[in-house]
Amino acid sequence: MTTLAPPLSPAPAGHALRRAAPALLVYAGVRALGLAVLAVWGAAAGKSPHTLLAARWDSLWYTRVAEHGYGWQVRLPDGSVHSNLAFFPLLPWLERLVSAVSPLSYADAGLVVSWLASLFAAAGIFAVADHLYGRRAGVCAVALWAVLPVGIVQSMAYSESLFTAVAAWSLYAVLRERWVLAGVLASCAGLTRPVGAAVVAAVWVAAAVQVYREGRVHREGRADRRMLLGVALAPLGAAGYVLWVGHRTGGGLFGYLDVQAGWGNGFDFGYAFARFIGEKFTSVPGALAGIGLVVGVALVVRLYVVGVRQGQPLPLLVYTGIVVALALCAAGYFGSKPRLLMPAFPLLLPLAVALARLRTSRSALVLGGVAVVGAVYGAFWLHGSGPP
């Protein structure tokens, strides 16, 4: 299995930007295609693309947190309570900041944050893939992340792009042994989504393995302190918010779990999801959807196994494993599972390596075709009745 690479001297910012430029241009082009198809579809359907991207479903909850703070909730007819305490604060904090320094509304500020974050996420994915497998694989990894069928979420005022950005750069910092930066970014990930625990775990495991394999006694004491500081910083974001929610709700350490339970969310080791898939096979049309879900889950598991055999560094495997486990083994709204898997970008690295071995024209043809299909599917998805 690949171990952590030795720390390298930081490359000049200009050189790093030039190296990543092709990946960022590809990413921007794919996302522009997705937005163009959404605009055309919206014009035909009489729906506003702006509303679909900035003012529906979870984006409304983030906007309300940015505008009014926490404490707002909805009680449903069945007695369950949907509280905005379920939404972590980094995205609404940034929405509030952007709105305060610009004429933008909170909703439009959310779009700006998401679009900028998606570029930083693409750059982080490129940095990780380039560091491990080379520049061509880095470009292909970014392209694959962009053309995901649910890639339109990257352009919504949701937290997936922001989370992927801080997670990817934290993992890259771990691979470069920049422990303090890795810890700070892991803490930011913990302030963005509950799955920020995956980034924290990656930092902790990487540090533990490094100590075990190499022995930090042979390094300067200053290096030891940097590692310990990064390890200590990593969980502060998630722990701070969860403890605050527990104090505010009176639920103590389990207060945030109670909030999530009000939304019907909880970790049940995949029982509810398996039952949901099983129920699809009670009818012929449903059986086709059920087969598609089984194939999708099998593909995710297969890509993870290939990543293990490929020798991906342990921090990436730990991060990806936790993201996948939380996405597939939690109860809740099952239509959201594809976007919950979106931050698990290391799953795409085996495909990126394979594409990088093809001639540029052939890989471009493959990615271009998938990009068109993904753009159409994304427009169809957002024009549905349920949230993504």
The 10s digit of each residue's pLDDT in 64-118 is 999 999 999 998 888 888 999 999 999 999 999 999 999 999 999 999 999 999 9
pLDDT digits (tens, 9 = 90+) for 136-166: 999 999 999 999 999 999 999 999 999 999 9
Yes or no: say if 277 and 317 are a contact pair by the CB < 8 Å rule. Answer: no
- Report residue 373 as tokens: 């299909």
pLDDT digits (tens, 9 = 90+) for 267-310: 888 888 888 888 888 876 778 888 888 999 999 999 999 999 99
Yes or no: say if 374 and 338 are a contact pair by the CB < 8 Å rule. Answer: no
Confidence check: pLDDT of 63 > 60: yes
Confidence check: pLDDT of 6 > 80: no
Distance CA(91)–CA(196), nearest Å, equals 13
CA neighbor of 352 nearest in space, from 27, 32, 135: 135
Check residue 239 and give its pLDDT. 96
Q: Provide the pLDDT confidence category of residue 127 given band limits of 50, 70 and 90.
A: very high
Check residue 279 and give its pLDDT. 82
What is residue 267's three-state secondary structure? strand
Check residue 205 and give its pLDDT. 97
Average pLDDT over residues 38-47: 94
Check residue 242 and give its pLDDT. 96
CA neighbor of 165 nearest in space, from 3, 10, 12, 24: 24
Confidence check: pLDDT of 8 > 50: no
Confidence check: pLDDT of 176 > 90: yes
Distance CA(351)–CA(303), nearest Å, equals 8
Query: Kindly report the CA angle at 276 between 301 and 333, in degrees rounded to 5?
Result: 85
